Structure 1
Amino acid sequence: MATDSALTTEQILSATEDALRRFGPAKATVVDVARTLGVSHGSVYRFFSSKTALREAVTERWLAQAHDDLRFIAIEPGPAAERLHRWLTTLFAAKREKALDDPQLFATYLTLVAEASHIVDAHVDTLIDQIAQIIQDGIEKGDFRHTPISATARAVLEATAHFHHPAHAAGWSDPAAEDRFEALWKLLLRGLAADA
């Protein structure tokens, strides 16, 4: 339980996740969040102006959790092909873990994401920018052929959507999913390689 003076944004977002998990997105309220924290709902509204703003913040945090690991892969040194492969497998693993470890919360987030298209667009733009960094590095080092970087980065993300877009989550537990991912990766790599 938090006191009003010690309340933090992070505590509110965590309590909101708990409320969403317990009650679902249709029934969870700001009062539920406040009750979890042991504060008044007015205390929550001091941080977030509306229920919509709170839900958007939770959605943004959920989507952003993947960014840090991916961002580090995008900027670290090393062969571009290895980094791009690791970046894609890390994204797949993170999404699969969320879907399989807490399917109830994952389903809740699917609802929230559908409500916040501008947040999803920003998330996708961030992912494309990270892929573009790797592709540009690969072109500069002669590992990847010259290609329109941004368009190619978007194509890579879209081509691998089956392994990270929540609409395909039902297939992620299939034992053959990793083999299918690797087959797609080899195809993508042949298209990117400088000697292709």
Structure 2
Amino acid sequence: MNDITDTREQILNAAMERIHHYGYGKTTMSEIARDCSMSAGNIYRFFASKIDIAEAMARKFNAKVFEDYAAIARKKTSASSRLREFFEMSLERTYSAIEEDAKILEVANVLKQERPLYFNEQMAQERVYMVQILNDGVQSGEFRPLDRPEETAEFMQSALMKFRFPQLFSALSLPKLQRELDGVLNLLLASLSCGARTPDS
């Protein structure tokens, strides 16, 4: 890494530590700068605002998630089992992160309101891996032919939204959410199966 990347990473790590301890709303750019032993003005060379730091935090978290999505998509197991693993991993990882540090939820809420395009971008990236799995399922004969797999992936995301974002967990326990997720996945995968009839058939 070069000096600019190192400094940016130093700022991000300091911000994450402070936000995890005090919360997003109670953290200021000047406090983050002080933690990094730099001037408040200097920190703006790397992050234009606190919301930019929040987005960088989320991107860092999601970078690992996308690596795992890609690994799941490459597996040689059935398409159905890969889709299950895909969404089960997402639920468990998000739930665990919130359980370990509830202040992450504050960051997620702020991003949802102030950076909606960020969430759209993340969902679009997620669909890349979903479409790969769906196409594998069609080619193997496990799933019925799909005219628009990208649209199918989008509809699946919508159907499973409750299990994707901590704002929608409604303070339910992880076992309760896992049970509901399993039930919804059963319905979705049954509709994709090779013997399923399409609405037009």
* TM-score exceeds 0.5: yes
Which 4+ stretches in 1 moved above 4 angstroms? 4-7
Distance 1:150 1:20 in 2: 37
Distance 2:55 2:181 in 1: 31
- Mapping of residues 68-87 of structure 1, within 5 Å: 68-87=67-86
Please tell me the residue identity of whatever aligns with 2:175: P
- Match for residue 95 of structure 2? 96
Distance 1:39 1:68 in 2: 33
Deviation at 1:107, TM superposition (A): 2.3
- Mapping of residues 9-88 of structure 1, within 5 Å: 9-88=8-87
Aligned length: 193
Distance 1:77 1:183 in 2: 24
Distance 1:190 1:6 in 2: 47
**Cα deviations across residues 96-127 of structure 1 (Å, max 9, x unaligned)?**
11221211222232223321111111001011
Residues 110 and 166, structure 1, Cα contact 8 Å, conserved in 2: no
Residues 72 and 134 (structure 1 numbering): CA distance in 2 closer, same or farther, change over 3 Å?
same
- Match for residue 151 of structure 1? 151
Structure 2: give runs of 5+ residues left out of the alignment.
197-201
Deviation at 1:83, TM superposition (A): 0.8
Please tell me the root mean square deviation across aligned C-alpha atoms, in Å.
Answer: 2.2
- Match for residue 175 of structure 1? 175
TM-score (normalizing by structure 1): 0.86
Please tell me the residue identity of whatever aligns with 1:156: M
- Match for residue 199 of structure 2? none
- Match for residue 186 of structure 1? 186
Distance 2:156 2:53 in 1: 32
- Name the stretch that deviates more: 48-57 or 155-164: 48-57
**Cα deviations across residues 63-105 of structure 1 (Å, max 9, x unaligned)?**
4442221121122322111111111111111111122121122
Deviation at 1:193, TM superposition (A): 0.8
Q: Percent identity?
A: 26
Deviation at 1:170, TM superposition (A): 2.9
TM-score (normalizing by structure 2): 0.84
Residues 143 and 194, structure 2, Cα contact 8 Å, conserved in 1: yes
Distance 2:171 2:25 in 1: 26
Structure 1: give runs of 5+ residues left out of the alignment.
none
Residues 119 and 83 (structure 1 numbering): CA distance in 2 closer, same or farther, change over 3 Å?
same
